[in-house]
Amino acid sequence: MCAVRRWQIRLSLAVLCVAMIDAASAVTLEVHATPPVIVPQVIYNGPRDEKRIAITFDACSSIHMSQVDKKLVQILVDNHIPATLFLGGKWVLDQPKEARYLASIPYFEIANHSFHHPHLTRMSAADIRHELAEAQAAIERVTGVTPRYFRAPYGEYNATLVDVAASLGLTTVQFDLASGDPDKSFTAERLSKWVIHKARSGSIVVMHINTHGWHTAEALPEIITALRAKGYQFVTVSELLNEPFPAPPGMALARNEHHLQIPVLHLTPHSHLH
Ligand SMILES: [Zn+2]
């Protein structure tokens, strides 16, 4: 963290210098042609003084055909639960219709989870940049959304990664509550009890929207009910951080297909995932 903090200071000075040069020369056009300059930082949680929680879902790219947990999506939609979805670039390209559907839900926020889901801390800055930029381009092309948040695969990050993400206009968002849902042995009961017990004001909870989350959909209704009963409000990451909520992502693009997508994702209680 110290390295990241030192880096933040360095970048702040750099931003200040750019601003001073800019003001002096009155050259502003080029600034708008590049991603927004943001301070590199890692977000773990939001304010602790408001009873708001961001539940987030990763869609990790796989070397095999990616999948979406349709039952889980249906639960979120049926209960109108705002959520931030960190999508892998390959995951999006594997199933563009599903990605467009997710982006068309006005209370879902789309974010970047790298392209191939590699161990980014073992890669060079140039390769990291390619991974993140490729994912950003895939998400933009398919959904019409330009993500502003990035989550590192496997929870692995360092100053270089956070630096590269920021240079692409992405704030790195990790979490303060790992649900444990990738663990197949984590039963629905254990999963829901863990999340309900550990969640607190400002928490960012990580779960999975692909089939790596074995019991996530099974546990989610109880988690929603219990946390709402405790007075918590579910919000997206941008809402949690009190940043402007982006315009409904890709609405113009997705609206035409909306009626086609809902039946694809609508499952009866007895449907089975394949
Ligand atoms: Zn992942």
Q: Is 208 helix (H, G, I), strand (E, B) or coil?
A: strand
Is the CB of residue 154 less than 8 Å from the CB of residue 143? no
Cα–Cα dist 207/180, whole Å:
8
CA proximity to 115, closest of 90, 148, 144: 90
Compute the distance from residue 24 Cα to the ligand 1 centre, in Å: 44
Look at residues 53, 105, 57 and name the one whose alpha carbon lies nearest to residue 224: 53
CA 206–ligand 1 middle distance (angstroms): 10
The β-bridge relationship of strands 108-112 and 233-234 is unpaired
Closest C-alpha to 55, from 262, 228, 235, 180:
235
Report strand pairing: 83-87 vs 233-234.
unpaired
Q: Residue 59, CB half-sphere, CA atoms under 13 Å: how many? A: 33
User: Separation of 98 CA from ligand 1 center, angstroms?
Assistant: 18
> Which tokens in the block code for residue 104?
């068309």
Q: Please tell me the predicted confidence (pLDDT) of residue 245.
A: 60
Spacing, Cα 153 to ligand 1 middle (Å):
4
Å from CA of 29 to ligand 1 middle: 37
What's the CA-to-centroid distance between 117 and ligand 1, angstroms? 6
- pLDDT at residue 46, rounded to an integer: 97
Tell me how far the alpha carbon of residue 201 lies from the centroid of ligand 1, in angstroms.
24
**Cβ burial, residue 177 (10 Å; 0-12/13-18/19+):** buried
Mean pLDDT per 10-residue segment, the chain (274 residues):
45 39 36 68 96 97 86 96 97 95 96 97 98 98 97 96 97 96 89 97 96 85 98 97 63 33 32 28
Q: What is the rounded distance in angstroms from the CA atom of residue 125 to the CA atom of residue 21?
A: 27
Say if CB 239 and CB 37 are below 8 A apart: no
Query: What is the number of helices (H) and of strands (E) in the chain?
Result: 11, 9
Q: Which two tokens stand for residue 50?
A: 């408001």
Give the H/E segment covering residue 152: none
Rounded Cα gap, residues 130 and 145, in angstroms: 19
> Which structure tokens are listed for 67?
């999948």
Cα(246) to ligand 1 centroid in Å equals 23
Q: Say what the pLDDT of residue 247 is.
A: 44
Question: Please, which residues have CB within 8 angstroms of residue 181's CB and are 6 or more apart in sequence?
Answer: 191, 207, 208, 212, 213, 214, 215, 216, 219
Q: Ligand 1 mean position to 84 CA, how many Å?
A: 14
Q: What is the pLDDT of residue 246?
A: 56
Sorted by where each begins, the domain ranges of the chain are: 1-34, 40-265
Q: How far apart are the CA of 228 and the centre of ligand 1, in A?
A: 27
Phi-psi region of 144 (alpha: psi -120 to 50; beta: other; left: phi over 0): left
User: How close is the Cα of 61 to the center of ligand 1, in Å?
Assistant: 7
- Architecture category of domain 40-265 in CATH: Alpha-Beta Barrel (3.20)
CA of 205 to the centre of ligand 1 (A): 13
Ligand 1 being an ion, which residues bring their Cβ within 5 A of it?
A: 58, 60, 153
